[in-house]
Amino acid sequence: MSHFIENQKWRYATKKFDAAKKISAADLETLKEAIQLSTSSYGLQLYKVFIIENPEVRAKLQPVSWGQSQIVDASHLFVFANIVDVQDHHIDEYIQNIAKTRGLKVEDLQGFGDFMKSKIVTLPADKKAIWTSKQTYLALGNLINAAAELKIDVTPMEGFEPEKYNEILGLNALGLNASLVATVGYRHEEDESQHYAKVRKPKQELFTTI
């Protein structure tokens, strides 16, 4: 924790990226691993993360991202896409993964699997979609924090048209929905936002001890 707070004070929502600076392959793998290790409800990770490098695809996404320059200028564009309609097979695949990873028998995990199905699969479709979309924000948190450790900038974005992203990236056919976007790279020296004082509520207003 010696540098964690310092790095959190360093980071900010970058408004202008340096398009000439690219994330190294090693650092990209670290960011991917940080996302992979993110907490999620039951450990299910009911989402996929698309890392968009193709400039032509990013050029198509920019107009449906409120025209924001970060979409095309950042080193990488991460699109978090939640599974819209969780079904039994999503739970079964997770149970099989647990069994394989921990050397257990699938049948010994059936009770856990049935419990998850009873709590998740039975939900109305709209509630399932909302719940899985929230999971992507947990993964985003790990991305932001890991990137700050590497002095890599991340700008989380909700300013985009999910339906258009789904269309351009072919997500509907995969049962996915673009829930969250993050541009990742290095701040441009001309980005004035990096010099702004960080504005946060005072602790006495933010926290209540009961």
- pLDDT tens column, 186-205: 999 999 999 999 999 999 99
Angle between helices 110-120 and 88-102 (to 10 degrees): 150
Joined tokens for residue 104? 């257990």
What single string gives the DSSP state of each residue in 104-170? --GGGGHHHHHHHHHHHTTS-HHHHHHHHHHHHHHHHHHHHHHHHHTT-EEEEE--S-HHHHHHHHT
Closest C-alpha among 18, 21, 43, 36 to residue 78: 36
> What confidence score (pLDDT) does residue 139 get?
98
Binned at pLDDT 50, 70 and 90, residue 1 comes out as low
Contact at 8 Å (CB) between 43 and 135? Answer: no
Cα 184 to Cα 182: distance, rounded to the nearest angstrom: 6
> What confidence score (pLDDT) does residue 43 get?
97
- State pTM to two decimals: 0.96
Cα 74 to Cα 18: distance, rounded to the nearest angstrom: 7
> What confidence score (pLDDT) does residue 2 get?
74
Share of the chain above pLDDT 90, in %: 99
Q: Tokens 């739970």 — which residue?
A: 91
Contact at 8 Å (CB) between 185 and 75? Answer: yes
> What confidence score (pLDDT) does residue 30 get?
98
The yes-or-no verdict on residue 58 having pLDDT over 70 is yes
The domain 4-86+123-206 having CATH identifier 3.40.109.10: the answer here is yes
CB atoms closer than 10 angstroms to residue 15: 17
| Strand order across the beta sheet in which 47-52 lies | 47-52, 76-83, 176-185, 153-157
Domain boundaries, given as residue ranges, for the chain: 4-86+123-206
CB atoms closer than 10 angstroms to residue 35: 23
Task: Share the mean pLDDT of the chain.
Answer: 97
- pLDDT tens column, 75-90: 999 999 999 999 999 9
The yes-or-no verdict on residue 59 having pLDDT over 90 is yes
